Amino acid sequence: MVVVTGQNKVSATPDDAMSSSDAEDDFQEPATPTATQAGQALPLLPQQFPEVVPLNVGGMFFTTRLSTLRRYEDTMLAAMFSGRHYIPTDAEGRYFIDRDGTYFGDILNFLRSGDLPPRERVRSVYKEAQYYSIGPLLDNLEDIQPLKGEKVRQAFLGLMPYYKDHLERIVEIAKLRAMQRKARFAKLKVCVFKEEMPITPYECPHFNSLRFERSESETKLFEHHCEVDVSFGPWEAVADVYDLLHCIVSDLSARGIAVDHQCIGVCDKHLVNHYYCKRPIYEFKITWW
């Protein structure tokens, strides 16, 4: 006996039945890929650039020759416009570089004719030259002020143990004290000393050096820590205490921190016999707003 349910009948005649080969055909990829599929499957052709290249660098427009951008082979610009990388274009067809274009004109001027920026823009152009990996421009900028002087200054600061750590300590202490007092400014004591220990009349330093001979027991008599928040020194160089103070203030100011300082005396710690420490103590005032 045949039972008929309420479901639709499924015809099973040989003519209407779907063969396995037909079913497979329904699930095959189309012969011609879609645009999205083509973009994923097909490799991009090398990008072609015109001889005169219009540029949009962060919203600023420039025009230069392709040979100018490829002036130095080992630069990012040469790589970008080598054809190996895809560079997007804006609505006007300019090649877009997602970078602040303020100093890009200085970059182009160097690539065109070797011109260097004026002194007030040297630091900023140097950062851009680092980004674009333009070695010849970096070398030229490092040989002029203010970068040449900065190299000398950094050589001096290299003699300072934990210089950057001490700067961070000054900032952290000043911030903590200002927040605790709900104050606009904070004060802290800083010791800056060049010589490690005072020299008695019976001792003479080595020629052209701050070092001198002392027995281990005598050395321990002169060892102590001044009662200050941060201490810089000692070091061996012609640069003196005021030079280091200038570095400290300059580096703090470069971070947007307003700082004043004044000498408030010397450490009067008694060391041995009638000799005292005498390291200068400075009061630093950090103003936060």
Strands (E) across 25-146 are located at 52-57, 60-65, 95-97
Which range among 4-18, 38-52, 147-161, 235-249 shows the weakest confidence by mean pLDDT? Answer: 4-18
pLDDT of residue 201: 44
Asked whether the predicted pLDDT for residue 13 surpasses 60, the reply is no
- C-alpha span between 75 and 139 (Å, rounded): 14
Check if the beta carbon of residue 286 is closer than 8 Å to that of residue 248.
no
Asked whether the predicted pLDDT for residue 56 surpasses 70, the reply is yes
Asked whether the predicted pLDDT for residue 150 surpasses 60, the reply is yes
Judge if the upstream peptide bond of residue 234 is cis by omega within 30 degrees of 0: yes
- C-alpha span between 100 and 98 (Å, rounded): 7
- Under the banding of pLDDT at 50, 70 and 90, the label for residue 226 is confident
Segment 107-128 shows an average pLDDT of: 96
State the DSSP string of 100-128: --TTHHHHHHHHHH-----GGGHHHHHHH
- C-alpha span between 158 and 122 (Å, rounded): 23
| CA distance readout (Å), 99 to 15, 60, 154, 238 | 67, 10, 29, 43
| pTM for this predicted structure | 0.65
DSSP-derived letter for residue 274 is T
Domains with residue ranges and CATH for the chain: 52-144 (3.30.710.10), 158-199+224-287 (no CATH)
Between residues 14 and 90, which one has the greater pLDDT?
A: 90
pLDDT of residue 278: 82
Which amino acid, 127?
Answer: K
